[in-house]
Structure 1
């Protein structure tokens, strides 16, 4: 599932398992939110989220949902929206170290972070919804729109492009691209440590982020 480790003033949340696609279901979303609550209650100054294996996250757990679509579709949507809101409400800077594929919900999860670094030799950022004939929900679309430039938004949403780290950097979706997973995590930790050293007021930082994305927060808060 996921682990939480503190390194100095930085917490590292890691999706564990070399062969796991880190699909998002209510159980994993609940575990993530429990870890984020620990970060919020601590004196740490930043959070890095990363992964083991080939996937940062391959999106929602469709196999879990399809066992009982009549009840699980809504439960999965609520859980996913809640975890996105939880990341937006972390009271310290958040950095994603994307060391594998981030598709659909996994890509959106990465976008919920303040900063992103990516492994360039393996993995794509990919919103698959056009290809699989699924409409992106308004709550999620508002987050994507708030995080991407018009050029990047067109590539991601209206072209369903599979973006390499270099392409994502060119579109300013990620801040940097690196040759190994270790280098990617190192870059994220370096930025996290630098930001943590600023010792910003946590309530102020949180409210600054919430003020940046008022539409996203309002939509995610509306649980219906």
Structure 2
């Protein structure tokens, strides 16, 4: 069974829905997301990308059970691939919106952070970077991404240093999400924020990607873990 699906809408959106329970991150997740992003880039009718989940979770982070069952080289390659996926989303040549339907923890919160915009459900879910609570040091590559996306020291202090679990309204106050909305309105609001970003005349895909890479350069890429 596929862990995610994509819907191409008549109004020009590619909506990626993660549909694997807690939507934990493993190599299957990366392979499927990569294929979908490849397909989206080939589709000239797509104006913007929205990612979301089903039920209680946007993504609950790394698939630790899977990682513990795999060889070290497989896990190391997965970590490299996950970093590449995060930065691919950050540099994607279309507007990207994370529709955070439920919990977004750790690696799942990084996936959400990589998007241009985040809209979050006020009725369900926390966003949290809880690595410090499991004594896991963040790599510079990941810290760069958070610094680019959340420039306020208060947000970084509370989110990363003290691993606070933020509901939508608090995440909005800290600038971590752009909209805290009712669940029935989130898709409409996600579409509106992407269309507003494009403006009436649109933006060239190639130029948008170049500008993202200029604004958010990947400084600490490592080929080995």
> Which TM bucket (shorter chain)?
over 0.9
Calculate the TM-score normalised by the size of structure 2: 0.92
Following superposition, which runs of at least 4 residues in structure 1 exceed 4 angstroms of deviation?
none
In the alignment, the residues of structure 2 paired with residue 84 and residue 157 of structure 1 have an alpha-carbon distance, to the nearest angstrom, of 17
Higher mean C-alpha displacement, 71-80 vs 154-163? 71-80
Pick aligned residue for 2:119 from 107, 112, 117: 117
Give how far 1:72 is off. Answer: 3.2
Pick aligned residue for 1:135 from 116, 134, 137: 137
Match of 2:16 in 1: 13
Match of 1:167 in 2: 170
Match of 2:223 in 1: 223
Deviation by residue 1:146-197 (Cα, 9 ceiling, x = unmatched): 11121101111111100110000000110111122x3122210222244455
In the alignment, the residues of structure 1 paired with residue 133 and residue 144 of structure 2 have an alpha-carbon distance, to the nearest angstrom, of 20
Calculate the TM-score normalised by the size of structure 1: 0.92
Give how far 1:69 is off. Answer: 4.8
In the alignment, the residues of structure 2 paired with residue 128 and residue 155 of structure 1 have an alpha-carbon distance, to the nearest angstrom, of 11
In the alignment, the residues of structure 2 paired with residue 31 and residue 191 of structure 1 have an alpha-carbon distance, to the nearest angstrom, of 26
Residue 72 (str. 1) matches residue 74 (str. 2):
yes
Give how far 1:27 is off. Answer: 1.1
Aligned length: 218
Pair 212,223 (structure 1): closer, same or farther in 2 beyond 3 Å: same
Taking the TM superposition and a 5 Å limit, the aligned residue runs for 1:50-129 are 50-129=52-131
Give how far 1:199 is off. Answer: 2.0
Deviation by residue 1:57-110 (Cα, 9 ceiling, x = unmatched): 011111110003523330220121121122123211111100000000000000
Give how far 1:136 is off. Answer: 1.0
SS of equivalent to 2:180: strand
Taking the TM superposition and a 5 Å limit, the aligned residue runs for 1:38-57 are 38-43=39-44, 44-57=46-59
Give how far 1:30 is off. Answer: 1.2
Residue 24 (str. 1) matches residue 43 (str. 2):
no
Higher mean C-alpha displacement, 1-10 vs 107-116? 1-10
Give how far 1:4 is off. Answer: 0.9
Pair 195,145 (structure 1): closer, same or farther in 2 beyond 3 Å: closer
SS of equivalent to 1:121: coil
